[in-house]
Chains A and B, each alone.
Chain A
Amino acid sequence: MPDSATLEAVKIDNEAGDFSYPEDYEHDAGVGLSEETIDYISEVKGEADWIREFRKKALKTFESKPMPTNWATKDLENIIFENIRYYLSKGQAPTRNWEDVPDDVKETFERLGIPEKERKFLSGVEAQFDSEAAYSNVKEELSKEGVIFVNSTEGLREHPELFRKWFGKVIPTGDNKFSALNSAVFSGGSFIYVPPGVKVKHPLQAYFRINAENFGQFERTLIIVDEGAEVTYMEGCTAPKFETSTLHSAVVELVAMKDAKIQYITVQNWSANVFNLVTKRGLAHENAEIRWIDCNIGSRLTMKYPGVIMKGRKARGEVISIALANDGQHQDTGAKMIHAADETTSNIVAKSISVGKGRSTYRGQVHIPKHLKGCKNNTECDALLINSSSRTDTYPAITVRGNQHATQHEASVSQVSEDQIFYMKQRGLSEGEAMSLSVNGFVNDLVREFPMEYSVELKRLIDMEMEDSVG
């Protein structure tokens, strides 16, 4: 057991992520992005030529694509790509033992409570510090069953036969400007393979940490779950509060083979200077199920619309999304459901909370083409406003052709009224406690879907945010 000081330090709160260690990197690609940056990254990693080519092609795509400011926020223009550092690492390959992790990195993850959680309830952990994973381990019984849980560099190098087939296939490089950027400079992230029939009982966890200023983190995750297998993957993220902006732009691809199940949980608590622009999509084969549980609490701007392509008959896709936008934050989130086979089912439940001047936006896309039969979609999006200067927008786009489908769409906007707060305060709750309870009540039915440990963590984060918002 860690001592009480350690336990105190690993308690989750807003300030807990707000620390950094002096920079001391063996590998630094410098500031700005060019072909040389890519050569540098490829050389440090000792990559195969096809990966270097893949990166360089992606760089051209990135450069040729305009910023999506025609539909998205102008705040994107405040990202200065030439001021960003694209690769920083301490050079070491991830160890499988916390004792071998460099002290400052180890302390970082201890303060964030990662080793403790690993002991308590996880099947495997990967801890990424800036560009590379510092620690990566999976329980022995799972490796014996053939489960692979490594970082992207190792995945592509050691298991090309498994990963190359799907790499960049669910999300093509040119999907959007930021998926192209990620494809050019990706580093870190998890590569997971679960063999047929293996049901991983406890979650695999990845933890992403940004330590350096003016840095961009571009992890790349690919999870392949073979026939009839199941896995739950969880990611958490934090960064210190720097004056300058930081960029996080990940690409996450999921592949669920026939009858497989993937549950992907995100609890994002980036500091308020982080641009979080992430592309996430899953491909569900026959009778497979992909479920995204996406909680966005931190960051300056998040743009993220997890999607599922239901490619096989009876495939199921689900997005459960919770976004909390506090003062100065914009949570632009949603879901994308592409029905591409008969009898496929999708479900989207999105709840957003806007506090103070916080802004939340829901964008949903559901596509059911004419030639299919028996597809179903349910979309619910609910927004909660806490005080009048906050803002919420909803842009649902449901395209259903043909008449053999069932879709359902509900949206609501509600407000925590002065009178509701008055009532709760009359019972002895402070303003912060009253708001926090109201917000937790609003998301309560979704949080019940989470594994217990994460629902507790989420509740605590919401409490902290609401306490802060009343100052």
Chain B
Amino acid sequence: MSQSLKIENLHASVEDTEILKGLSLEIPKGEVHAIMGPNGSGKSTLSKVMAGHEDYEVTAGTVLMDDVDLLDLEIDERSRAGFFLAFQYPHEIPGVSNANFLRAALQARLPKGEEIDAVAFYKDMYAKMDALSMDRKFTGRSVNDGFSGGEKKRNEILQMMMLEPKYAVLDETDSGLDIDALKIVAEGVNRMRSPERGFLVITHYQRLLDYIVPDVVHVMSDGQIVKTGGKELALELEEKGYDWVTEELAVTA
């Protein structure tokens, strides 16, 4: 059995417009991959398609997570199978406290009839909140309701730490973060790095990759991966701009 998140020839459209046009990449367990690309290249679409958002229609391809095709599973089944998406715009859930939400999400992973150990749950959550410098008052506040941009992103990382996925996709987690918040979020992700887990970090800017250092960098353009390289590719992109990649493509074509 292969231990990776493997996307092959993925095509997806929204309202008859094709956004992903045969995208392929493989993230072996234990690695951190980054996808960079200009606005409109389809980065966020990729993350939503992997999670199963119903606005997108997959017309071809597979997304294998350790040999299970995610595309055959319901949204919630993908999550319980170990797939996590940190949202670019995390949703608010009025009236539902962070603690209750996390508890419900963890409870959903237990077999019927089994109950979460509340004491262990709170202990675990507090330790992880401390690591993210989150005030404990957050447990009682409604999920993302009235949170600042930085608080929302930190909350996404907290959820990831609590759910301990096999593979996590971070969609523009750096957007709207100041440098201090960025460092805290990156530290949270780095603590999660392990041989048992794979990451896909989607970002528009190289800045995040100073703190979450990727093993592999992919460049996405017009719904495909157009270039793959080591972490130095991110620096090169920062220096030369995305036009450099697209121009290079035009030359080789």
A and B: bona fide binding partners: yes
Seen from chain A, the residues whose Cβ lies within 8 Å of a Cβ on chain B are 414, 417-420, 422-431, 433-434, 437-438, 440-445
Q: Please name all residues of chain A whose beta carbon is closer than 8 Å to the beta carbon of B53 when the two chains form the complex.
A: 422
Answer whether A433 and B75 are a contact pair too, CB < 8 Å, given A420-B93, A442-B94, A442-B95: no
Given contacts A417-B91, A422-B75, A428-B79, 11 further A-B contacts (CB under 8 A): A420-B92, A423-B90, A424-B93, A425-B75, A426-B52, A426-B84, A426-B87, A427-B105, A430-B76, A437-B100, A437-B101
Chain B: interface residue total (CB-CB under 8 A) = 29
- Most chain B beta carbons < 10 A, residue from A414, A438, A441, A444: A441
- Most chain A beta carbons < 10 A, residue from B87, B94, B100: B94
Complex Cα distance, B92 from A442, in Å, reads: 12
State how many angstroms separate the Cβ of B84 from the closest Cβ of chain A: 8
A428 touches B91 (CB 8 A): no
Complex partner residue of B93 from A428, A433, A438, A445, CB under 8 angstroms: A438
Q: Please name all residues of chain A whose beta carbon is closer than 8 Å to the beta carbon of B94 when the two chains form the complex.
A: 414, 441-442
Q: Please name all residues of chain A whose beta carbon is closer than 8 Å to the beta carbon of B85 when the two chains form the complex.
A: 426
B101 touches A418 (CB 8 A): no
Complex Cα distance, B78 from A430, in Å, reads: 11
B108 touches A437 (CB 8 A): no
A419 touches B91 (CB 8 A): yes
Complex partner residue of A441 from B52, B79, B93, CB under 8 angstroms: B93
Is B142 located at the chain interface by the 8 A CB criterion?
yes
B95 touches A440 (CB 8 A): yes
Residue of B nearest to A442 (CB): B95
Complex Cα distance, B94 from A417, in Å, reads: 12
Q: Please name all residues of chain B whose beta carbon is closer than 8 Å to the beta carbon of A442 when the two chains form the complex.
A: 94-95
Mask, B32-71, CB within 8 Å of A = 1, is 0000000000000000000111100000000000000000
Q: Please name all residues of chain B whose beta carbon is closer than 8 Å to the beta carbon of A444 when the two chains form the complex.
A: 95-96
Q: Please name all residues of chain A whose beta carbon is closer than 8 Å to the beta carbon of B109 when the two chains form the complex.
A: 428
State how many angstroms separate the Cβ of A290 from the closest Cβ of chain B: 27
Is B80 located at the chain interface by the 8 A CB criterion?
yes
Is B4 located at the chain interface by the 8 A CB criterion?
no
Within 8 A of A (CB), among B12-41: none
B95 touches A443 (CB 8 A): yes
Mask, B72-116, CB within 8 Å of A = 1, is 001110111000110100111111100011001100110000000
B96 touches A428 (CB 8 A): no
A437 touches B104 (CB 8 A): yes
Residue of A nearest to B84 (CB): A426
Identify the 8 closest CB pairs spanning chains A and B, nearest first: A441-B95, A441-B96, A423-B91, A428-B79, A425-B75, A444-B95, A427-B105, A425-B76
Residue of B nearest to A434 (CB): B76
Complex partner residue of A428 from B80, B87, B95, CB under 8 angstroms: B80
A426 touches B96 (CB 8 A): no
State how many angstroms separate the Cβ of A112 from the closest Cβ of chain B: 23
Complex Cα distance, B150 from A352, in Å, reads: 33
Q: Please name all residues of chain A whose beta carbon is closer than 8 Å to the beta carbon of B84 when the two chains form the complex.
A: 426
Complex Cα distance, B79 from A428, in Å, reads: 5
Residue of A nearest to B95 (CB): A441
Q: Please name all residues of chain A whose beta carbon is closer than 8 Å to the beta carbon of B54 when the two chains form the complex.
A: 418, 422
Complex Cα distance, B95 from A451, in Å, reads: 19
Answer whether A428 and B76 are a contact pair too, CB < 8 Å, given A423-B91, A442-B95, A443-B95: yes
Residue of B nearest to A428 (CB): B79
Answer whether A428 and B163 are a contact pair too, CB < 8 Å, given A422-B53, A438-B93: yes
**Can you list 14 A-B pairs with a CB-CB distance of less than 8 A?**
A420-B92, A423-B87, A424-B93, A425-B79, A426-B79, A426-B87, A427-B79, A428-B80, A428-B108, A437-B104, A438-B95, A438-B96, A441-B95, A444-B96
Residue of A nearest to B86 (CB): A426
Complex Cα distance, B100 from A438, in Å, reads: 11
Residue of B nearest to A430 (CB): B76
Complex Cα distance, B159 from A425, in Å, reads: 13
